[in-house]
Chain A
Amino acid sequence: MFILNPQSGIPIYRQILEQVRRMVASGQLPPGTALPSVRDLALRHTINPMTISRAYSILETEGLLERHRGRPMTVASQAKNHSQLPKRLQQIGPLVEQTVVAAKQLELSEAELVKAVRREWEQDDE
Protein backbone atom coordinates (compact mmCIF):
# COMPACT_ATOMS: atom_id res chain seq x y z
CA MET A 1 0.00 0.00 0.00
CA PHE A 2 2.92 2.33 0.68
CA ILE A 3 6.00 2.89 -1.37
CA LEU A 4 8.78 3.08 1.16
CA ASN A 5 12.46 3.56 0.51
CA PRO A 6 14.66 3.19 3.58
CA GLN A 7 17.76 4.36 1.74
CA SER A 8 16.22 7.71 0.90
CA GLY A 9 17.27 10.78 2.81
CA ILE A 10 13.65 11.34 3.77
CA PRO A 11 12.99 9.52 7.03
CA ILE A 12 10.59 6.62 6.67
CA TYR A 13 8.04 8.09 9.07
CA ARG A 14 7.86 11.17 6.85
CA GLN A 15 7.37 9.02 3.76
CA ILE A 16 4.41 7.38 5.49
CA LEU A 17 3.02 10.71 6.71
CA GLU A 18 3.08 12.24 3.27
CA GLN A 19 1.62 9.23 1.53
CA VAL A 20 -1.24 8.85 4.00
CA ARG A 21 -2.00 12.56 3.88
CA ARG A 22 -2.01 12.56 0.11
CA MET A 23 -4.14 9.46 -0.19
CA VAL A 24 -6.64 10.70 2.37
CA ALA A 25 -6.82 14.11 0.74
CA SER A 26 -7.33 12.60 -2.69
CA GLY A 27 -9.99 10.26 -1.43
CA GLN A 28 -7.97 7.17 -2.25
CA LEU A 29 -8.39 6.27 1.39
CA PRO A 30 -12.01 7.01 2.25
CA PRO A 31 -13.01 7.46 5.91
CA GLY A 32 -13.29 4.18 7.77
CA THR A 33 -10.62 2.39 5.74
CA ALA A 34 -8.49 0.12 7.92
CA LEU A 35 -4.75 0.60 7.74
CA PRO A 36 -2.29 -2.31 7.93
CA SER A 37 -1.04 -3.04 11.41
CA VAL A 38 2.37 -1.78 12.47
CA ARG A 39 3.65 -5.32 12.69
CA ASP A 40 2.45 -6.31 9.22
CA LEU A 41 3.87 -3.22 7.66
CA ALA A 42 7.19 -3.64 9.45
CA LEU A 43 7.57 -7.22 8.32
CA ARG A 44 6.38 -6.60 4.78
CA HIS A 45 8.85 -3.79 4.20
CA THR A 46 11.50 -5.04 6.65
CA ILE A 47 11.64 -1.77 8.50
CA ASN A 48 11.67 -0.87 12.14
CA PRO A 49 8.15 -1.00 13.68
CA MET A 50 8.83 1.98 15.96
CA THR A 51 9.19 4.19 12.92
CA ILE A 52 5.76 3.14 11.70
CA SER A 53 4.04 3.61 15.03
CA ARG A 54 5.61 7.03 15.24
CA ALA A 55 4.09 7.97 11.88
CA TYR A 56 0.70 6.55 12.91
CA SER A 57 0.77 8.48 16.18
CA ILE A 58 1.48 11.75 14.41
CA LEU A 59 -1.34 11.07 11.98
CA GLU A 60 -3.60 10.31 14.92
CA THR A 61 -2.87 13.61 16.63
CA GLU A 62 -3.42 15.36 13.33
CA GLY A 63 -6.86 13.78 13.37
CA LEU A 64 -6.33 11.89 10.15
CA LEU A 65 -6.42 8.44 11.73
CA GLU A 66 -8.43 6.92 14.56
CA ARG A 67 -7.16 4.32 16.99
CA HIS A 68 -9.45 1.49 18.10
CA ARG A 69 -8.85 -0.96 20.88
CA GLY A 70 -7.89 -4.34 19.48
CA ARG A 71 -8.64 -3.38 15.91
CA PRO A 72 -6.59 -1.81 13.15
CA MET A 73 -6.39 1.96 12.83
CA THR A 74 -8.83 3.55 10.42
CA VAL A 75 -9.04 6.76 8.47
CA ALA A 76 -10.99 9.26 10.59
CA SER A 77 -14.56 9.98 9.48
CA GLN A 78 -14.12 13.71 9.12
CA ALA A 79 -10.58 13.46 7.94
CA LYS A 80 -11.14 15.31 4.73
CA ASN A 81 -12.78 18.37 6.29
CA HIS A 82 -10.18 18.39 8.96
CA SER A 83 -7.45 19.30 6.56
CA GLN A 84 -8.03 23.04 6.22
CA LEU A 85 -7.09 24.91 3.08
CA PRO A 86 -4.08 26.81 4.51
CA LYS A 87 -2.66 23.55 5.80
CA ARG A 88 -3.09 21.81 2.48
CA LEU A 89 -1.51 24.76 0.72
CA GLN A 90 1.40 24.59 3.10
CA GLN A 91 1.85 20.97 2.20
CA ILE A 92 2.20 21.62 -1.49
CA GLY A 93 4.39 24.70 -0.86
CA PRO A 94 7.79 23.02 -1.28
CA LEU A 95 6.72 21.39 -4.55
CA VAL A 96 5.53 24.71 -5.95
CA GLU A 97 8.76 26.33 -4.86
CA GLN A 98 10.84 23.70 -6.62
CA THR A 99 8.79 24.05 -9.77
CA VAL A 100 9.17 27.81 -9.79
CA VAL A 101 12.93 27.58 -9.29
CA ALA A 102 13.20 25.10 -12.12
CA ALA A 103 11.06 27.30 -14.37
CA LYS A 104 13.32 30.28 -13.69
CA GLN A 105 16.39 28.21 -14.51
CA LEU A 106 14.72 27.25 -17.80
CA GLU A 107 13.93 30.93 -18.39
CA LEU A 108 10.19 30.34 -18.62
CA SER A 109 7.86 33.25 -17.97
CA GLU A 110 5.25 33.15 -15.24
CA ALA A 111 2.45 32.91 -17.80
CA GLU A 112 4.12 30.01 -19.57
CA LEU A 113 4.46 28.12 -16.32
CA VAL A 114 0.83 28.74 -15.33
CA LYS A 115 -0.24 27.56 -18.76
CA ALA A 116 1.76 24.38 -18.39
CA VAL A 117 0.28 23.77 -14.95
CA ARG A 118 -3.24 24.27 -16.27
CA ARG A 119 -2.66 21.90 -19.15
CA GLU A 120 -1.38 19.25 -16.77
CA TRP A 121 -4.35 19.85 -14.44
CA GLU A 122 -6.92 19.40 -17.20
CA GLN A 123 -5.23 16.31 -18.58
CA ASP A 124 -5.34 14.73 -15.14
CA ASP A 125 -9.05 15.50 -14.73
CA GLU A 126 -10.05 13.72 -17.88
Chain B
Amino acid sequence: MRIFTVALIAATFAVGASAAPKDETPQYKTAEAKHFTTAEGVELSPAFVDYFYAELRNELTKAKLVKEVIGEGETVDDADAPRSLVISGTVTEFKKGSVVKSALIGFGAGFKSLKMDADVLRLSDKQNLCAIHVHVKIDPRWNEKVMAKGAAHEMVKEMKKALAESTKTATADAGKPS
Protein backbone atom coordinates (compact mmCIF):
# COMPACT_ATOMS: atom_id res chain seq x y z
CA MET B 1 0.00 0.00 0.00
CA ARG B 2 2.85 2.36 0.99
CA ILE B 3 4.69 1.63 -2.26
CA PHE B 4 1.51 2.32 -4.18
CA THR B 5 1.08 5.72 -2.41
CA VAL B 6 4.71 6.69 -3.13
CA ALA B 7 4.30 5.64 -6.76
CA LEU B 8 1.09 7.66 -7.02
CA ILE B 9 2.77 10.80 -5.62
CA ALA B 10 5.75 10.34 -7.95
CA ALA B 11 3.39 9.93 -10.92
CA THR B 12 1.51 13.11 -9.93
CA PHE B 13 4.78 15.07 -9.78
CA ALA B 14 5.89 13.65 -13.12
CA VAL B 15 2.62 14.68 -14.79
CA GLY B 16 2.83 18.12 -13.15
CA ALA B 17 6.39 18.64 -14.35
CA SER B 18 5.52 17.70 -17.91
CA ALA B 19 2.47 20.00 -17.87
CA ALA B 20 4.49 22.98 -16.60
CA PRO B 21 4.75 25.79 -19.14
CA LYS B 22 7.91 25.74 -21.20
CA ASP B 23 10.15 28.78 -20.98
CA GLU B 24 9.83 29.62 -24.66
CA THR B 25 11.35 32.73 -26.15
CA PRO B 26 8.67 34.96 -27.71
CA GLN B 27 8.34 34.84 -31.48
CA TYR B 28 8.12 38.61 -31.82
CA LYS B 29 10.57 41.17 -30.56
CA THR B 30 8.47 44.27 -30.05
CA ALA B 31 4.80 45.23 -30.00
CA GLU B 32 3.50 48.74 -30.26
CA ALA B 33 -0.03 49.41 -29.08
CA LYS B 34 -1.66 52.49 -30.50
CA HIS B 35 -4.45 54.53 -28.93
CA PHE B 36 -7.71 53.12 -30.27
CA THR B 37 -10.05 55.41 -32.14
CA THR B 38 -13.79 55.59 -31.48
CA ALA B 39 -16.35 55.25 -34.23
CA GLU B 40 -18.94 57.94 -34.76
CA GLY B 41 -21.69 57.85 -32.16
CA VAL B 42 -19.63 56.04 -29.52
CA GLU B 43 -20.00 58.02 -26.29
CA LEU B 44 -16.86 57.14 -24.38
CA SER B 45 -14.60 59.57 -22.54
CA PRO B 46 -11.03 60.19 -23.78
CA ALA B 47 -9.91 58.87 -20.38
CA PHE B 48 -11.33 55.47 -21.37
CA VAL B 49 -9.14 55.33 -24.49
CA ASP B 50 -6.09 56.31 -22.43
CA TYR B 51 -6.81 53.69 -19.81
CA PHE B 52 -7.46 51.01 -22.41
CA TYR B 53 -4.11 51.82 -24.05
CA ALA B 54 -2.34 51.39 -20.71
CA GLU B 55 -4.23 48.18 -19.94
CA LEU B 56 -3.49 46.72 -23.37
CA ARG B 57 0.22 47.35 -22.89
CA ASN B 58 0.03 45.87 -19.40
CA GLU B 59 -1.73 42.74 -20.68
CA LEU B 60 0.75 42.37 -23.56
CA THR B 61 3.62 42.49 -21.07
CA LYS B 62 1.92 39.95 -18.81
CA ALA B 63 1.14 37.56 -21.68
CA LYS B 64 4.83 37.47 -22.72
CA LEU B 65 3.75 37.48 -26.33
CA VAL B 66 6.68 39.72 -27.25
CA LYS B 67 10.06 40.53 -25.76
CA GLU B 68 9.34 44.22 -25.33
CA VAL B 69 6.20 46.34 -25.39
CA ILE B 70 7.02 49.79 -26.70
CA GLY B 71 5.08 53.04 -26.49
CA GLU B 72 3.16 54.68 -29.29
CA GLY B 73 5.37 56.33 -31.90
CA GLU B 74 8.66 54.77 -30.72
CA THR B 75 11.22 53.84 -33.34
CA VAL B 76 12.34 50.28 -33.98
CA ASP B 77 15.66 49.21 -35.49
CA ASP B 78 15.37 48.20 -39.15
CA ALA B 79 16.68 44.75 -38.29
CA ASP B 80 13.89 44.21 -35.75
CA ALA B 81 11.06 45.53 -37.94
CA PRO B 82 10.09 42.11 -39.46
CA ARG B 83 9.65 40.78 -35.92
CA SER B 84 7.69 43.76 -34.65
CA LEU B 85 3.95 44.12 -34.29
CA VAL B 86 1.69 47.15 -34.38
CA ILE B 87 -1.75 46.88 -32.80
CA SER B 88 -4.35 49.44 -33.79
CA GLY B 89 -8.11 49.38 -33.62
CA THR B 90 -11.48 51.05 -33.22
CA VAL B 91 -14.24 50.96 -30.64
CA THR B 92 -17.15 50.22 -32.92
CA GLU B 93 -20.04 50.11 -30.47
CA PHE B 94 -20.75 51.06 -26.86
CA LYS B 95 -24.07 50.61 -25.09
CA LYS B 96 -24.45 52.24 -21.68
CA GLY B 97 -26.81 49.55 -20.39
CA SER B 98 -29.67 49.94 -17.93
CA VAL B 99 -29.53 49.38 -14.19
CA VAL B 100 -33.32 48.99 -14.04
CA LYS B 101 -33.38 46.33 -16.75
CA SER B 102 -30.44 44.54 -15.15
CA ALA B 103 -32.13 44.53 -11.73
CA LEU B 104 -35.61 43.57 -12.93
CA ILE B 105 -34.84 41.06 -15.68
CA GLY B 106 -31.32 39.83 -14.91
CA PHE B 107 -29.65 37.12 -17.03
CA GLY B 108 -27.40 39.70 -18.72
CA ALA B 109 -30.21 42.05 -19.73
CA GLY B 110 -29.29 45.74 -19.49
CA PHE B 111 -25.56 45.05 -19.31
CA LYS B 112 -23.03 47.57 -20.62
CA SER B 113 -21.69 46.37 -23.93
CA LEU B 114 -18.53 47.21 -25.83
CA LYS B 115 -17.44 46.02 -29.26
CA MET B 116 -13.93 46.54 -30.60
CA ASP B 117 -12.11 45.64 -33.79
CA ALA B 118 -8.34 45.47 -33.89
CA ASP B 119 -5.72 44.74 -36.52
CA VAL B 120 -2.31 43.31 -35.81
CA LEU B 121 0.20 44.40 -38.45
CA ARG B 122 3.79 43.48 -39.07
CA LEU B 123 5.84 46.68 -38.89
CA SER B 124 8.21 45.97 -41.79
CA ASP B 125 5.69 45.35 -44.60
CA LYS B 126 2.42 46.37 -42.88
CA GLN B 127 1.02 42.90 -43.53
CA ASN B 128 -2.14 42.16 -41.55
CA LEU B 129 -1.30 39.17 -39.36
CA CYS B 130 -4.71 38.89 -37.76
CA ALA B 131 -7.95 40.75 -37.22
CA ILE B 132 -9.55 40.56 -33.81
CA HIS B 133 -13.13 41.26 -32.77
CA VAL B 134 -13.87 41.60 -29.08
CA HIS B 135 -17.25 41.91 -27.40
CA VAL B 136 -17.34 42.59 -23.66
CA LYS B 137 -20.40 42.87 -21.42
CA ILE B 138 -20.39 44.02 -17.81
CA ASP B 139 -22.86 45.00 -15.12
CA PRO B 140 -24.15 48.58 -15.73
CA ARG B 141 -23.21 49.62 -12.18
CA TRP B 142 -19.53 48.99 -12.82
CA ASN B 143 -17.04 51.64 -13.90
CA GLU B 144 -16.27 51.78 -17.64
CA LYS B 145 -12.57 51.34 -16.82
CA VAL B 146 -13.36 47.84 -15.53
CA MET B 147 -14.75 47.16 -18.99
CA ALA B 148 -11.48 48.43 -20.52
CA LYS B 149 -9.59 45.99 -18.32
CA GLY B 150 -11.76 43.09 -19.44
CA ALA B 151 -11.55 44.13 -23.10
CA ALA B 152 -7.74 44.39 -22.99
CA HIS B 153 -7.47 40.96 -21.39
CA GLU B 154 -9.81 39.42 -23.94
CA MET B 155 -8.02 41.11 -26.82
CA VAL B 156 -4.59 39.81 -25.85
CA LYS B 157 -6.03 36.32 -25.34
CA GLU B 158 -7.59 36.36 -28.82
CA MET B 159 -4.40 37.79 -30.31
CA LYS B 160 -2.28 35.06 -28.76
CA LYS B 161 -4.62 32.42 -30.16
CA ALA B 162 -4.77 33.98 -33.64
CA LEU B 163 -0.99 34.45 -33.88
CA ALA B 164 -0.36 30.87 -32.72
CA GLU B 165 -2.79 29.58 -35.37
CA SER B 166 -1.24 31.66 -38.15
CA THR B 167 2.23 30.44 -37.16
CA LYS B 168 1.01 26.85 -37.18
CA THR B 169 -0.51 27.33 -40.63
CA ALA B 170 2.66 28.95 -41.94
CA THR B 171 4.77 26.09 -40.57
CA ALA B 172 2.44 23.49 -42.14
CA ASP B 173 2.57 25.29 -45.51
CA ALA B 174 6.35 25.44 -45.38
CA GLY B 175 6.52 21.70 -44.59
CA LYS B 176 4.38 20.67 -47.60
CA PRO B 177 6.32 19.29 -50.59
CA SER B 178 6.07 21.55 -53.61
Partners in one complex: no
Residues of B near any A CB (own CB < 8 A)? none
Residues of A near any B CB (own CB < 8 A)? none
